Amino acid sequence: MAKVLEVKNITKTYPGVVALDDVSFDVEKGEILALIGENGAGKSTVIKSIAGAITPDRGTIVIDGKAYEKLTPAMAKEAGIGVVYQELNLVPSLSIMENIFLGDKVGGKLMPDFRQMRRRSEEIMADLGVKIDVSTQVQMLSTAQMQIVEIAKAVVKNCKVLIMDEPSASIPMAEVENMFRIVRRLKEKGVSIIYISHRLEELFELCDRVTVFRDGKYVITKKVSEITKKDLIRYMIGRELTEKFPERSVKPGEPVLEVRDLTGNGDFHINLELHKGEILGLAGLVGAGRTELAKMLCGDVKPESGQIIVKGRPMKAVSAADGVAAGIGLVPEDRKLEGVFLEYTIEWNIPIMSMKRISHMGIVNFKEADRLTDYYVDTLGIKTPSVKQEVRNLSGGNQQKVVVAKVLAADNDILIFDEPTRGIDVGAKQEIYKLMNNLVESGKSILMISSEMEELLGMSDRIVVLYEGKVSGSLAKEEFSQDRVLELASGM
């Protein structure tokens, strides 16, 4: 097969570090190539080089036989490179078709030709096999639909190579299959795809070949049919991961959190129990009500009716302050938006939830605050040169640990982890899992909301599955299977 993209000996250095070290690989016409590696392996640097967002120090990029030393974003687009970034870049108030042609002139010099725009948009959507009214405003769409618009936007101009950065991370589990279908359709039309993902299972389902990066270096390219997941992980981290989900010895005890007939927001109606020393997995599709439940449990959202009983005492919550007072701490889904104070230091972040407790007459005991910080930086193994480091300078895994430290420092016994390992690389995931184990072993209880099947099956003592705001099933450890969870999650 013909090579549509060749990356030849690319090196990119930043002051003090080599982000890409003499990297070469190629993409064949009409194939789906997976690009994997831990955070910091150089995936995003290489993508940015191909898309023209950065200029490498050395090396050549050959697109469809034409060699480029220096690419600009406009040149890359012209040459047939399309990129769907992890975060969506659409204008919510404009229609689908206007978004697809954003930045391109359709029709006359002054007035856009909307009829032509509509026709061409409809053609693209038909090509992708999607039925949708292209004059719908983007803000009315679901995340998955927005992603489809992003794909349409990327392929509108004679796209030869489509780069997709973690496309499955931002959409619901149920929609992933549909996205795959679109990707396969593009492949049939001769478009090559570079597919980046942290979810290894997906690669085996979707991709033809896989290229592994580690520490800024190219490691290997293999046919997906000729490699196992275990090998992939070994290539990615450069060592064998002995046990993915560490064992723990603690057995769940008496109930610490009981949810009785909790209702709110339409169809929502939940009953469940969390025991001491237990990790209870909470599964379900996006929109099944998991995050709403989490927010109600921590007091942030007020339920319409029903009871939340914490250690035998009914909790009356009007704000998250009451949840914290009752001993329930939330590690939110969106770390940056809801979890940490990015611009402040580690020593500022960790004691913030404990401020009132360590204050006397409103005056903070800063010695105690420093002690808390040191203790948790140490216990959780937060890697940083100094506690005076701003949190935004930390890696995703370490930021997550800061959130956990903040919640733990407030003496919460019941912890709600909403997607605890989202956007964290394999090594850091391991550490978060170990940390969760240590927590339940020390007598805490954890409610873990997760969309990652392996994590749910590997970490939970019990799994409760939600479907459209109601508990559709509860699985004990011996009943765990991926199929069962998926069935319950889709209401079967």
Partner 1 sequence: MSKVIDFCRRNLAWVLLFVICVVFTFTSNNFLTLSNLLNILNQNAYIIICTYGIALIMMSGGLDMAVGYQMSICGVLCAMMLTGTGIPMPLVVIITIVVSVGFGALGTLLEQLLQLPRIFVSIGLSTVYQGVAYVITNSKTISGLPDSFKVIGQGTVLHPSLTYATILMVIGGIVMSFVMDRTYFGRYVFALGGNEAAARLAGINVKRMKYAIGCVAGFFCGIGAVILTSRVGAAAAGTAAGTEITVLTGVLVGGVSVRGGDGKIANCIAGVLIMGLLANGMQLAGLNTYYQYVAKGAIMLLVMWFDAFQIKRRAIAANKRKEERAA
Asked whether the beta carbons of 106 and 116 are under 8 A apart, the reply is: yes
Tell me the backbone φ, ψ of residue 489, rounded to 5 degrees.
-65, -25
Please report, for residues 10, 12, 53, the alpha-carbon distance to residue 44 in angstroms, rounded to integers and kept in the order given. 13, 12, 10
Residue with tokens 């930086």: 377
User: Is residue 212 a contact point for partner 1 (CB under 8 A)?
Assistant: no
Binding to partner 1 in span 23-52, by CB under 8 A: 39-40, 42, 45
By C-beta, is 120 or 217 nearer to partner 1? 217
By C-beta, is 80 or 327 nearer to partner 1? 327
Which of 208, 300, 452, 461 is the binder for partner 1 (CB under 8 A)?
300
Which of 19, 380, 424, 426 is the binder for partner 1 (CB under 8 A)?
19
By C-beta, is 250 or 325 nearer to partner 1? 325
Q: Which residues contact 140 (CB under 8 A, 6 or more apart)?
A: none
User: Is residue 214 a contact point for partner 1 (CB under 8 A)?
Assistant: no
User: Is residue 14 a contact point for partner 1 (CB under 8 A)?
Assistant: yes
User: Is residue 87 a contact point for partner 1 (CB under 8 A)?
Assistant: no
Question: Rounded to an integer, what distance in angstroms lies between the CA atom of residue 194 and that of residue 28?
Answer: 10
By C-beta, is 381 or 491 nearer to partner 1? 381
User: Is residue 332 a contact point for partner 1 (CB under 8 A)?
Assistant: yes
Question: Rounded to an integer, what distance in angstroms lies between the CA atom of residue 122 and that of residue 130?
Answer: 9
Q: Which residues contact 131 (CB under 8 A, 6 or more apart)?
A: 125
Closest CA to 423 of 233, 198, 232: 198
Question: Rounded to an integer, what distance in angstroms lies between the CA atom of residue 328 and that of residue 152?
Answer: 44
| 75-78 CB contacts, 8 Å cutoff, 24+ apart | 76/50, 76/51, 76/52, 77/52, 77/157, 78/157
Tell me the backbone φ, ψ of residue 250, rounded to 5 degrees.
-70, 140
Which of 93, 319, 379, 442 is the binder for partner 1 (CB under 8 A)?
319
CB of 5 to partner 1, least distance (A): 22
User: Is residue 182 a contact point for partner 1 (CB under 8 A)?
Assistant: no
Asked whether the beta carbons of 7 and 59 are under 8 A apart, the reply is: yes
Q: Which residues contact 488 (CB under 8 A, 6 or more apart)?
A: 283, 465, 467, 472, 473, 475
CB of 323 to partner 1, least distance (A): 7
Which of 173, 200, 286, 364 is the binder for partner 1 (CB under 8 A)?
364
User: Is residue 341 a contact point for partner 1 (CB under 8 A)?
Assistant: yes
Q: Quick one: which segment of 166-174, 273-281, 302-310, 316-324 binds partner 1 (CB under 8 A)?
A: 316-324
User: Is residue 363 a contact point for partner 1 (CB under 8 A)?
Assistant: yes
Residue with tokens 């856009």: 112
Q: How many residues are given for the chain?
A: 492
Please report, for residues 36, 201, 224, 232, 449, the alpha-carbon distance to residue 228 in angstroms, rounded to integers and kept in the order given. 14, 10, 8, 6, 28
By C-beta, is 39 or 490 nearer to partner 1? 39
CB of 347 to partner 1, least distance (A): 12
3-state secondary structure of 275: strand
CB of 319 to partner 1, least distance (A): 5
Which of 88, 321, 387, 453 is the binder for partner 1 (CB under 8 A)?
321
By C-beta, is 37 or 80 nearer to partner 1? 37
Tokens of 335: 């770390």
User: Is residue 6 a contact point for partner 1 (CB under 8 A)?
Assistant: no
Residues of the chain by 3-state class (helix, strand, coil), percent to 5: 35, 25, 35
By C-beta, is 117 or 293 nearer to partner 1? 293
User: Is residue 386 a contact point for partner 1 (CB under 8 A)?
Assistant: no
Question: Rounded to an integer, what distance in angstroms lies between the CA atom of residue 185 and that of residue 420?
Answer: 33
Question: Rounded to an integer, what distance in angstroms lies between the CA atom of residue 377 and that of residue 151?
Answer: 42
User: Is residue 16 a contact point for partner 1 (CB under 8 A)?
Assistant: yes
Q: Quick one: which segment of 11-19, 102-110, 139-147, 482-490 binds partner 1 (CB under 8 A)?
A: 11-19
Tokens of 352: 């913030």
CB of 42 to partner 1, least distance (A): 7
CB of 4 to partner 1, least distance (A): 27
By C-beta, is 137 or 345 nearer to partner 1? 345
User: Is residue 415 a contact point for partner 1 (CB under 8 A)?
Assistant: no
CB of 231 to partner 1, least distance (A): 24
Which of 56, 323, 420, 469 is the binder for partner 1 (CB under 8 A)?
323
Tokens of 394: 């930390």
User: Is residue 282 a contact point for partner 1 (CB under 8 A)?
Assistant: no
Q: Which residues bind partner 1 (CB under 8 A)?
A: 14-20, 39-40, 42, 45, 216, 298, 300, 319-321, 323-325, 330, 332, 337-344, 348, 352-353, 355-356, 359, 362-364, 366, 390, 392-393, 395, 406, 410
